[in-house]
């Protein structure tokens, strides 16, 4: 029957593997060779696999030993970082905010949504971008404090999520001066003749844009689709095509990109949400994010 796993035994094995042999490990640990060897054998018994095997006059790692060493590296390297992390935590108190950002959410909008939290003098902001489903999984595991999204959380009978509306913005059409020169005549029907850049279908606003085109009988000349809103704007600013953007950040858009506004995308609105696991938000910085909407 396997004995209980012991981290001390794992440490001795780790030193043996790093030093390349039991004798050298014993010298480093200032212990008897027999003691170190016995500790490694105890680890092998607890795991149920041999970690070392003879090779010539020495020892090499087995496949199980290679796997064990990879895990031990992570465990003990984290342990070596522990004193510094504790020292930093005591000397510089921080307020940690881990935010998941849906990849279709405009980055300039994200900056504006997070603005209330950025005033925190000891803020440590961790931003993770990804697909909404993946971010909600991390939220469920408490790896994230909040998720910012362009849509409310889907209904899940196994996990209760709360969607807090943060605001909304009408969309406008933007492009370089050269691109808009051709697009201004007979707008918005000119969007059937000039190249367009659109968000991909996984974003909430894409369906609304498709309906907007259909209602006006416009067959758009789409030359690019982007999951990442910042990429869409970057290519739009390069002159590749006209693109939609939230008018909520109109001034920031003009300041960051060499573009101009073509016109209003009438009837199309983009919505922004903060998704959490608690109906009554406890995290003080998440409360700040919700304050303007309360």
Residues 22-40 pLDDT 10s: 999 899 889 999 999 999 9
The rounded percent of the chain whose pLDDT value lies above 90 is 59
Q: How many CA atoms lie within 13 A of 140 on its CB side?
A: 12
* pLDDT given at position 294: 39
Q: How many CA atoms lie within 13 A of 48 on its CB side?
A: 3
Query: Greater confidence, 1 or 162?
Result: 162
Tens of pLDDT, residues 196-234: 999 999 888 999 999 999 999 999 999 999 988 889 999
**pLDDT(6) > 70:** yes
**pLDDT(252) > 80:** yes
CB 10 within 8 A of CB 75: yes
Give, in degrees to the nearest 5, the angle at Cα 144 between 86 and 78: 35
Domains of the chain: 7-90 (1.10.10.10), 95-167+273-293 (3.40.190.10), 169-269 (3.40.190.10)
**pLDDT(91) > 70:** no
**pLDDT(190) > 90:** yes
* pLDDT given at position 3: 54
Tens of pLDDT, residues 120-169: 888 889 999 998 989 998 898 888 999 999 999 988 777 788 999 999 99
* pLDDT given at position 89: 66
The pTM of this model reads 0.66
* pLDDT given at position 175: 96
- Alpha-carbon distances, residue 218 vs 131, 159, 187, 228 (angstroms): 30, 42, 11, 25
Report residue 1's pLDDT band, with 50, 70 and 90 as the boundaries.
Answer: very low
């Amino acid at each position: 029957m396997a004995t209980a796993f012991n981290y001390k035994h794992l440490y001795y094995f780790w030193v043996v593997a790093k030093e390349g042999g039991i004798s050298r490990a014993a010298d480093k640990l200032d212990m008897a060779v027999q003691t170190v060897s016995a500790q490694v054998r105890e680890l092998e018994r607890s795991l149920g696999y041999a970690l070392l095997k003879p090779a010539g006059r020495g020892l090499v790692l087995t496949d199980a030993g290679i796997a064990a060493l990879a895990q031990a590296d992570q465990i003990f390297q984290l342990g070596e970082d522990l004193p510094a992390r504790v020292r930093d935590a005591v000397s510089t108190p921080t307020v940690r905010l881990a935010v998941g950002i849906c990849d279709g959410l405009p980055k300039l909008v994200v900056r504006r949504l997070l603005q209330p939290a950025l005033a925190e003098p000891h803020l440590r902001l961790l931003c993770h971008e990804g697909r909404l489903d993946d971010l909600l999984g991390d939220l469920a595991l408490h790896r994230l404090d909040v998720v910012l999204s362009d849509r409310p959380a889907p209904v899940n009978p196994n996990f209760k999520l709360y969607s807090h509306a943060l605001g909304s913005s009408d969309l406008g059409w933007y492009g370089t001066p050269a691109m808009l020169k051709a697009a201004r005549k007979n707008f918005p029907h000119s969007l059937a003749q000039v190249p367009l850049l659109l968000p991909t279908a996984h974003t909430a606003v894409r369906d609304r844009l498709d309906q907007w085109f259909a209602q006006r009988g416009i067959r758009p000349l789409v030359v690019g689709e982007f999951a990442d809103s910042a990429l869409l704007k970057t290519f739009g600013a390069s002159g590749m095509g006209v693109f939609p953007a939230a008018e909520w950040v109109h001034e920031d858009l003009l300041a960051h990109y060499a573009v101009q506004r073509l016109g209003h995308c009438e009837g199309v609105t983009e919505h922004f949400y903060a998704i959490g696991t608690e109906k009554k938000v406890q995290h003080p910085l998440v409360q700040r994010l919700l304050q303007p909407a309360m």
